[in-house]
Amino acid sequence: MKLGHYNMYTGALTAQQLASILATGYILADGLLLLGDVEYYLTIAELPQKLTTVQKLKLLISQHENDSDPEKQELVKQLKKTKDHFHKFNNSKNKDTALIVAIRRMEGTITKMYQEVIDAIQDIQAKWGITAIMNLLDQKDFASYFININTPEENPNNDSFRKFVSEALLMNIYDENAEFDMYLLSKNFVSDEFRENRGCYAVFNEKAVTDDLGYVFIAFELPIITVCSTNELKLLRAYFKQHGTCFREVIDGWLLFCKQSTNYKARIDHFIAHVIPAIDAFKTVIANNNILNFVANRNDVNYQTIQVCFGETSMQSIWDYNRYAQNIPDESWQKITDAAKANPEFAKMRVPFMSVGYYNKSTANIDVPNNEPINEEASIIQPTKKSLNID
């Protein structure tokens, strides 16, 4: 099981959502690949030493550019003026002493403002576990492809970027050289707000076979592992690798079956016959882990839970979700739309996914019964920042 997660730093996900997705994917899967600029979020602490003053100004502008607050808009206006003036002054060929002093003062003020933003982001990172996860990024089991959402699709100087947005989202995970075999999505994918009239059926419903949007199955819950240290996350990964062998093998078998069969009914039958029993057995493995039991009883997080779901959905739904989550700019969306029109069967093609989200325990369950056949009405899940450009 190799998971692929596409997201942009200033998209719709909160820090806590991002942390729960990445931590869960890391401890459960054989590999985790990030597509997008999430790596920026994970390594932001290193940026102050790398950015120029103009790049720092661009970052400050991007923090508030889409904020409707009049004060923030005025701040953005002033920051843009400052950027223009600084660029003009700094590039002046004949700098007298007064101008040099003015430039240094501007640099000091900008750096101070920038550091305040970095400090606030680092506080959020520490609070929600991003800091611990950052230390796991090894470009092997936990790797990333950096994609800048503002990079033009036809940029001829794309050496520093591994993929364009459209290229990343048009990948076929059934290809022989695909680098992941299942999409890792946030709970927002099965949320009321996104789904609206799209629908998503419980695995037992007959419409799950014919509907392009597929199905979802609520698998199991984990405590809030985002409070775990880097070492604890490594121990959890090792524990599941050793004690979750049967579960992993069954999931891998399901993923292979999805790759080999285009018969959606056969794929659903396989999921019901093999994956669901393996999930039930895996719950015992979860229950027997000391770290998870300790976290589950912590007073500061025992009212919350991480819910993991498995299912299949169409490529079109993957694209629609990422558009909804503000992860796809207009130019890239047009290329994806054109590709879908040119190859409608690819757009309808079902792919497996795992969704992860944290919930308060009182509202944890998506209202889709898993363990018995259900009628058409009850079986549908009804509807319940852009990236920084510092180059």
Q: At what angle do helices 315-324 and 330-342 cross, to 10 degrees?
A: 170
Of all residues in the chain, the percent with pLDDT exceeding 70 is 75
Residue 243 has pLDDT above 90, yes or no: yes
Q: Do 92 and 157 sit in the same domain of this protein?
A: no
Confidence of residue 286 (pLDDT cuts 50, 70, 90): very high
C-alpha distances out from residue 174 to 167, 182, 203, Å: 15, 10, 22
pLDDT at 46: 61
Contact between 184 and 4 (Cβ < 8 Å)? yes
- 64: which residues sit within 8 A by CB, 6+ positions away? 72, 73, 75, 76
Indicate whether 377 belongs to any domain.
Answer: no
- pLDDT bin (cut points 50, 70, 90) of residue 57 is confident
Residue 153 lies in a domain: yes
Residue 10, token pair as written in the block? 């200033």
124 and 253 co-located in one domain: no
Q: At residue 155, what is the residue type?
A: N
Asked if pLDDT for residue 149 goes beyond 60, the answer is: no
Greater model confidence, 251 or 213: 251
> Given a cut of 50, is residue 225 above it in pLDDT?
yes
179 in the same domain as 269: yes
pLDDT of residue 187 exceeding 60: yes
Read off the pLDDT band of 368 (50, 70, 90): very low
The C-alpha atoms of residue 257 and residue 173 are separated, in whole angstroms, by: 13
- Tell whether 107 and 242 lie within a shared domain: no
Domain limit, last residue, from 128, 152, 186: 128
Q: Name the least confident of 53-57, 169-173, 249-253.
A: 53-57
Highest mean pLDDT among 41-45, 59-63, 104-108, 198-202: 104-108
Q: Is residue 375 part of a domain?
A: no
Q: Which tokens is 264 given?
A: 């959606």
**Does 257 lie in the same domain as 193?**
yes
Q: Is residue 174 domain-shared with residue 310, that is, in the same domain?
A: yes
269 and 326, same domain (yes or no): yes
Q: How many CB atoms lie within 10 A of CB 143?
A: 16
- Is 55 within the bounds of a domain? yes
Domain assignment present for 382: no
In the predicted structure, residue 383 carries a pLDDT above the cut 50:
no
Domain total in the chain: 2
Instruction: Report the alpha-carbon distance of residue 54 to residue 388 in Å, rounded.
Output: 13
Regarding whether 306 and 247 lie in a shared domain, the answer is yes
Domain co-membership, 22 together with 52: no
The Cα–Cα gap between 100 and 91 comes to 11
Same domain, residue pair 92 and 238 = no
| Span 283-298, average pLDDT | 92
- Domain membership of residue 385 (yes or no) is no
The mean pLDDT value for 75-91 works out to 79
Tell me the sheet residues that pair with 358: 306
- 37-46, 162-171, 264-273, 322-331: lowest mean pLDDT where? 37-46
Q: Same domain, yes or no, for 24 and 62?
A: no
Residue ranges making up the domain that contains 314: 2-39+137-363
Residue 341 in any domain: the answer is: yes
d(Cα 336, Cα 341) in Å, to the nearest integer? 9
Q: Do the domain assignments include residue 115?
A: yes
CB neighbourhood size of 288 (10 A)? 11
For the chain, the average pLDDT equals 77
Residues 30 and 71 in one domain: no
